[in-house]
Chain A
Amino acid sequence: MNVMTQTMNAGAAIGQQPKAPKMQARDVRVHYGAKEALKGVSIDVSNDEVTAFIGPSGCGKSTFLRCLNRMNDTVPNARVSGSITLDGRDIYAPTMDVVQLRARVGMVFQKPNPFPKSIYENVAYGPRIHGLARKKADMDIIVEKSLRRAGLWDEVKDRLADSGTALSGGQQQRLCIARAIAVSPEVILMDEPASALDPIATAKIEELIDELRGRYAIVIVTHNMHQAARVSQKTAFFHLGTLVEYGDTSEIFTNPREARTKDYITGRYG
């Protein structure tokens, strides 16, 4: 009965406040030593949409992406100011458990980086350290579900004991996505997830992003303009450490408001 009530309350809350942002960044600045890499970025990340960050190299988009799960904590000299909230809670608060945060806000990198372990272990590792499965049978379920959601299950179900590094590049990347999914994240950050893949593997990743949409808030950094146009509903254009323009993807790519956005996406930049 409790569950029922909770579900109904949650439904009512969603009805009352459509599209409450999953993550909210306000005036986020990042310094690497004396250099200001990010100059006050404010943006909302929506729960049920894919947000693409685009911009030339060095524009701050990856730096900002890394702020969203405090990956910049590991960079020496990096200093982050401003506020970023996840479901309204400040992720830079001293009480925030960073390990927990990174489970809730997962990350997929440009180069597939599976552990040099079996396919099964690659997916099971996260749930195990987070204590998400007590029994082997529970873990089996998590592994299968994660691999299915990552669109990899049918390709690997008969060789789960094989090394993750023996898979093709595209499969490795989907394995990394399965690994991120396994700890039941709420947000998935992707930093150029398909730039090292061939067009077929890229299409599979893009299809996967579309399938995952709605279940997770997804933020993707990409240099491929048409990829951003294909996979995202919201696009943010970064330039020289500032957020120049943020809006509906269809609008940004057909009728951007800012001249700098237009010049960049039409290939007139620099």
Chain B
Amino acid sequence: MENNPNAHTVRAFDKEIENLRTLIGEMGGLAESQVIDAVGVLMRRDVDEAAQVAARDQQLDLMEAEAERQAVTIIALRGPLADDLRDIIATMKISNIIERIGDYAKNIAKRVPTLSMTPPVAPLVIIPEMTKLAAAMVRDALDAYAHRDARLALDVMERDQRVDEYYNSLFRSLLTYMMENPHHISASAHLLFIAKNLERIGDHATNIAEMVYFSATGERASERAKSDETTSISANSGK
């Protein structure tokens, strides 16, 4: 305890918080690899492994339930205050967000069998790059959480715009693609959902970063404008 000036007098409290934070770290790692794996099997058209990726999501659900149980126990038994309170509340929310990220990865994996039966559509090539960005946001948001790093959290928030830009451009090209050849509509529609999922994953990583920022500083990061332009893009403007 003497080594850590930030330690609580009651050491069991530190241990409980640490256990919970470790669990969140594991959840985040799993969610990140689920996103990467889901897109990996999509690109490789590996239907068997896609099923495995989808099945692994259950693990995240269980971990989220466990994280919530631990957080509720800490609140009930320790009555955390100030930064401890912010930390626990943020942790509960973050575990919920990670679980949602897992759901998006599962959703991507579940589209693989259908997409594997159709000819590949050209805009697909953007997906791996977009995934790299979104997954890195998830990883860095969780790193920021682990180290209570408000600056890294801000950095993650700023990167969300790039994922949005990928999504906007993919949206445009898919519209064009569908108009040029109606045979591509089914695959393009699925791809559009996948792109939307990745865009949402970026949003969720941003939400995690906002939680981390609040937990670390006690202040809210200022609201940023969303740069999703697709709400105003029509088939005509898509040309």
Contact = CB atoms under 8 A, between A and B. Distances in A.
A11 interface: no
Interface in B161-212: none
Q: B interface, how many residues as a size bin?
A: 10 to 19
Interface stretch (B5-13, B41-49, B51-59, B108-116): B5-13
B8 A267 contact: yes
B77 interface: no
Interface in B72-109: 79-86
A268 B81 contact: no
Contact of A266 (B8, B218, B219): B8
Contacts of B79: 225-226
Contact of B8 (A225, A256, A268): A268
B10 A266 contact: no
B7 A266 contact: no
Contacts of A243: none
B175 to A, nearest CB: 47
**Max chain B Cβ within 10 angstroms of own Cβ: one of A254, A256, A261:** A254
Contact of A270 (B9, B80, B81): B9
Contacts of B81: 225, 229, 253-254, 265-266
A247 to B, nearest CB: 13
Q: A interface, how many residues as a size bin?
A: 10 to 19
B82 A267 contact: no
B3 to A, nearest CB: 14
A229 B81 CA distance: 10
Nearest to B79: A226
Given A226-B79, A255-B218, A266 B84 contact: yes
Given A226-B79, A253-B81, A254-B81, A268 B9 contact: yes
Q: What is the interface of chain B mostly: helix, strand, loop, or mixed?
A: loop
A34 B173 CA distance: 82
Nearest to B78: A267
A81 B98 CA distance: 58
Contact of A267 (B13, B86, B218, B219): B13
A143 to B, nearest CB: 39
Interface string B106-150: 000000000000000000000000000000000000000000000
A262 interface: yes
A267 B8 CA distance: 6
Interface in A233-258: 253-256
A254 B85 contact: yes
Nearest to B13: A267
B86 A254 contact: yes
A255 B10 CA distance: 21
A268 B6 CA distance: 7
A255 B8 contact: no
Nearest to A256: B82
A253 B10 contact: no
A254 B218 CA distance: 8
Contacts of A226: 79
Contact of A269 (B9, B82, B86, B218): B9
A248 to B, nearest CB: 13
**Max chain B Cβ within 10 angstroms of own Cβ: one of A254, A261, A266:** A266
Interface of A: 225-226, 229, 253-256, 261-262, 265-270
13 contacts: A254-B82, A254-B86, A255-B86, A261-B82, A262-B82, A265-B81, A265-B82, A266-B8, A266-B81, A266-B83, A267-B10, A267-B13, A268-B7
What are the 7 closest A-B residue pairs judged by CB atoms, nearest first? A255-B218, A265-B81, A266-B84, A267-B8, A262-B82, A253-B81, A266-B82
